[in-house]
Amino acid sequence: MVTAILVLGLSLCLVLHAAPGVDQTSKTSEKKLTERLQQCQKEHHDLNLMLQAVTQDSRCRLCPDGWLWWRGHCYFFSVGLQENRRWNESADFCLKHNSSLAVIRDTAEMEFIQGVMRKFPQFPFLWVGLTDTEQEGQWLWWDGTDIQHYMPLTVEWDADHRDCADLRGGGSLFAANCEAYGPWACQRDS
């Protein structure tokens, strides 16, 4: 019995004395990880600034003047640069500039486009490359893929006389009359 008490006492003593060291090691590791994370965040910020500076230099520009580069693509947002146009006229403009109306392939791209839209409060909506002119209710992107192909999206207010889609705040797509005038977004490979 005495041996059991001594072993229990010794174990308790080891636990009590070892705990502060383990706790201190844990705190030191956590501090080092926090410092490393902050350093990585700063380097990421600095690299983004350098990338922006390089892409603004006319000698290194990946996209034409007035176009924005993002993830290997160039985007043209017409607001403030062109008069509003009908959907077909917008699509023609894009074609003349070796591009198409924007096809939104993932949530990151949706966020990018929405971010640009937030910078211009006069964007009531934005024409994108989505239409159901071929078959009513079958919404296809400019590249011929179904609306659901890239990500789950729906078009609100669908009706026979609304065959072109526009993008609004919050990532909502609405069916609209193709004859309505509005701003648009072109997209092409850089």
Question: What tens digit of pLDDT does each residue of 151-182 get?
Answer: 999 999 999 999 999 999 899 999 999 999 99
The larger pLDDT score, comparing residue 129 to residue 51, is at 129
Please state whether beta strands 140-141 and 155-156 pair in parallel, antiparallel, or not at all (unpaired). unpaired
Cα–Cα distance, 10 to 26 (Å, whole number): 24
Last residue of a domain, one of 61, 86, 113: 61
Decide if pLDDT at 108 tops 60.
yes
- CATH code of the domain in which 180 resides: 3.10.100.10
The answer on 172 and 101 residing in a single domain is yes
47 and 83 co-located in one domain: no
Residues 102 and 157 in one domain: yes
Co-location of 155 and 97 in the same domain: yes
| Close Cβ partners of 84 (under 8 Å, ≥ 6 residues apart) | 78, 181, 182, 183
Cβ atoms within 10 Å of 86's Cβ, excluding its own: 17
pTM for this one?
0.69
**Same domain (yes/no): 10, 98:** no
Q: Which of 54-63, 78-87, 105-114, 173-182 has the lowest mean pLDDT?
A: 54-63
Per the structure, the count of domains in the chain is: 2
Looking at 32, 61, 90, which one is the last position of a domain?
Answer: 61
- Within this chain, do residues 1 and 22 fall inside the same structural domain, yes or no? yes
> What letter represents residue 40's amino acid?
C
Judge whether 175 and 164 are in contact, CB under 8 Å: yes
pLDDT (0 to 100) of residue 178: 97
Return the pLDDT at 44.
Answer: 72
pLDDT digits (tens, 9 = 90+) for 12-64: 444 444 444 545 677 788 888 888 877 877 777 666 666 666 655 655 689 99
* 97 plus 36 within the same structural domain: no
Considering the domain architecture, whether residues 71 and 36 belong to the same structural domain is answered as no
The domain boundary residue, chosen from 61, 80, 97: 61
Cα separation, 190 vs 185, whole angstroms: 15
Residues 75 and 163 in one domain: yes
Structural domain boundaries, residue 23: 1-61
* Shared-domain flag, residues 71 and 50: no
Regarding whether 167 and 87 lie in a shared domain, the answer is: yes
Q: Are residues 26 and 85 in the same domain?
A: no
